[in-house]
Amino acid sequence: MLKNATPVYVVNTKSQHKRGRDTQLANIAAAKAVADVVRTTLGPRAMLKLILDAIGGVVITSDGNAILREIDVGHPAAKAMLELSRTQDEEVGDGTTSVIVLAGALLQAAEPCLEAGVHPSVIVGAYMRALQDALSELEQRCAIAVDWNDEVQLQRVLRACLGTKVAAVYRERVAAWSLAAVKLIAESSAPATTAGAGTQRPLDIKNLVRVEKIPGGDLDDSAVIRGVVLNKDIVHPQMRRRIENPRLLLLDCPLEYRKGESQLTVEVTREADWEALLQSEEAVVRQQCERIAALRPDLVITEKGISDLAAYLLMRAGISALRRVRKTDNERLVRATGARIVSRIEEASQQDIGTGAGLFEVRRLGEEYYSFIEQCTAPGACTVLLRGGSKDTLNELERNLHDALCVLRSLYGDRRVVAGGGATEMALSRALLQRSALVEGAAQWPYRQAAEALEVIPRTLAENCGTSVVRLLTRLRAEHAEAGHSNIGVDGTSGELIDMIEAGIVDAYAVKAQALKTAVESACMLLRIDDILSAVRKREGSGTATGAADATEDANPTD
């Protein structure tokens, strides 16, 4: 090094900078802290979390994704852990708590390896090899095919999914609603089979199944509507409120005088000119309504506005109308009734009229009016109507129903299940421990650590149901050491060891495989981080600067 050399500042000196093993250990500690937050929410004996959100609302739930979505964290590794739950929820809808707990256990298992001097690349390579072996074992030895037409098997999967939720008391009803909704969507979807045996094109649950929550009433009033429910009332009080076998016309254009796109000023000097201007606007609206009446629809639904004159003219023609409907609801009406959305009234034809609905009726539920377009002959979209005593109950039911719908969607795409209750994780752990003898060199230790980390799921189930964890896990390892006992798992309610397949406690194969992939890949990503830089530049025009990067750069120019 040159004597009296001027130091070169590459990074802002006021920024926080961590590197090396300290960074990796800090990331592991942050991940463990996030996992500890949701650990007690796993299993049928899960505890609830009460969260005060940013706007002062209260959220009471045991859903891992809902909990992590509301909390605010500052550590970058903790933020990365929160994304795991969101990814799991978007992909398969269930297993959001398991993936966080498993990722935390994998990172914790890597900690002694790092402290012993094992390079992070070696640990990551061992973890990725363990993931490939685990997925291979999961597909070859653990997966069991199910019949999509056998509702008894599907009900078992849903009961296992809902048994860990707050809605476990109502799981029979929630399972029936979700199964009825997905069956309706599956029947109308094209049976396009993709490459691979037993796989189907995934269902668009998010856009085709809508959950409408209406406080009040009783849970028995909830139902699956073969059609669409809109929180809208007719635009004129004298329009028909009940129409059997309605003819629907869907619009995404307004029924009113079209205004100029830019600012327009008209100067009128005579009263006759003003009257002529008003008459021309009225003539345009009358012409629109006459063209609609020529198609003989019973119900007109538009995404835009309807003027008072248009509402009056449609009422005189015996046509009911709804306005300012969401675009997503209009698209669901297309799937439910067979209508086509018209962008210009001049181009509307008889082919655009939908005749698939059996009934249109406006009903008052609570303090609001709802329009029901139901009894559709071949509904490509449906609505799950939830009634309950409080908004908190309805919100939790909606979250649980969403999980059940996503599990059925995953099962429709990949019609295989695996044993639940930690049986699959224990079987994979034992298989990986046996395969670890084939791993050579320094990678064998982290490989075995990954295998042992899989036991965190049955261990957590045992902890949450209040049984003796050490004794139960010792018995579970002994059971899995015997041939033919790979389906033995922990009953999260009683704390006993039972056969999960015989008890009907099963998970969707896609959910389990996605949880493994997401947890291992995220753990590897965090282990490969060896440097954390946090510097905030001064905002232009701001009187304060958190990082004061600009001032530092001016005082310490870089070469």
Q: What is the DSSP string of 173-203?
A: HHHHHHHHHHHHHHHHS---B-SSTTBBPPP
pLDDT at 14 over 70: no
Structure confidence at residue 543 as a pLDDT band (50, 70, 90)? very low
Residue 486 has a pLDDT of 83
Q: Which region among 3-7, 484-488, 495-499 has the lowest average model confidence (pLDDT)?
A: 3-7
User: In which region does residue 510 sit, left (phi positive, over 0), alpha (psi from -120 to 50) or beta (all else)?
Assistant: alpha
Residue 483 has a pLDDT of 72
Residue 19 has a pLDDT of 67
What is the C-alpha to C-alpha distance for residues 327 and 181, in angstroms, rounded to an integer? 21
What is the C-alpha to C-alpha distance for residues 376 and 187, in angstroms, rounded to an integer? 13
Q: Which helix (H) or strand (E) holds 244?
A: strand 242-244
> Domain 16-145+418-529 belongs to what architecture?
Orthogonal Bundle (1.10)
What is the C-alpha to C-alpha distance for residues 66 and 97, in angstroms, rounded to an integer? 10
Q: Per the structure block, which two tokens stand in for 315?
A: 């009422």
> Domain 228-255+272-378 belongs to what architecture?
3-Layer(bba) Sandwich (3.50)
Residue 555 has a pLDDT of 40
Q: Kindly name the residue from 63, 94, 329, 491 that is annotated as catalytic.
A: 63
pLDDT per position as a tens digit, 26-70: 889 989 999 998 999 888 888 888 888 777 778 888 888 888 888
Cα dihedral: 151, 154, 155, 161 (round 10): -170
- Whether 97 sits among the annotated catalytic residues: the reply is yes
Angle, in degrees to the nearest 10, between helices 444-453 and 423-435: 170
The whole-number average pLDDT for the span 409-432 is 90
Cβ(378)–Cβ(189) under 8 Å? no
Residue by residue, what is the 3-state secondary structure of 407-469? HHHHHHHECEEEECCCHHHHHHHHHHHHHHHHCCHHHHHHHHHHHHHCCHHHHHHHHHCCCCH
pLDDT at 308 over 80: yes
Give the CB-side neighbour count of residue 508, counting CA atoms within 13 A: 29
Whether 16-145+418-529 and 228-255+272-378 share one fold: the answer is: no
Q: What are phi and psi of 23, to 5 degrees?
A: -65, -45
What is the C-alpha to C-alpha distance for residues 342 and 366, in angstroms, rounded to an integer? 33
Q: How far is CA 311 from the centre of its chain?
A: 39
Average pLDDT, the chain: 84
Q: Which region among 76-85, 121-130, 191-200 has the lowest average model confidence (pLDDT)?
A: 191-200
Residue 542 has a pLDDT of 45
The SS3 of residue 555 is: helix
Q: Kindly name the residue from 94, 298, 329, 403 that is annotated as catalytic.
A: 403
Domain residue spans of the chain: 16-145+418-529, 152-206+391-414, 228-255+272-378
pLDDT per position as a tens digit, 157-197: 888 888 777 666 788 888 889 999 998 888 876 544 443 44
Q: Kindly name the residue from 41, 87, 96, 518 that is annotated as catalytic.
A: 96
- Whether 298 sits among the annotated catalytic residues: the reply is no
pTM as predicted: 0.78
Burial of 416 per CB tally in 10 Å (0-12, 13-18, 19+):
buried
Query: Which residues, 6 or more positions from 484, have their beta carbon under 8 angstroms from its beta carbon?
Result: none
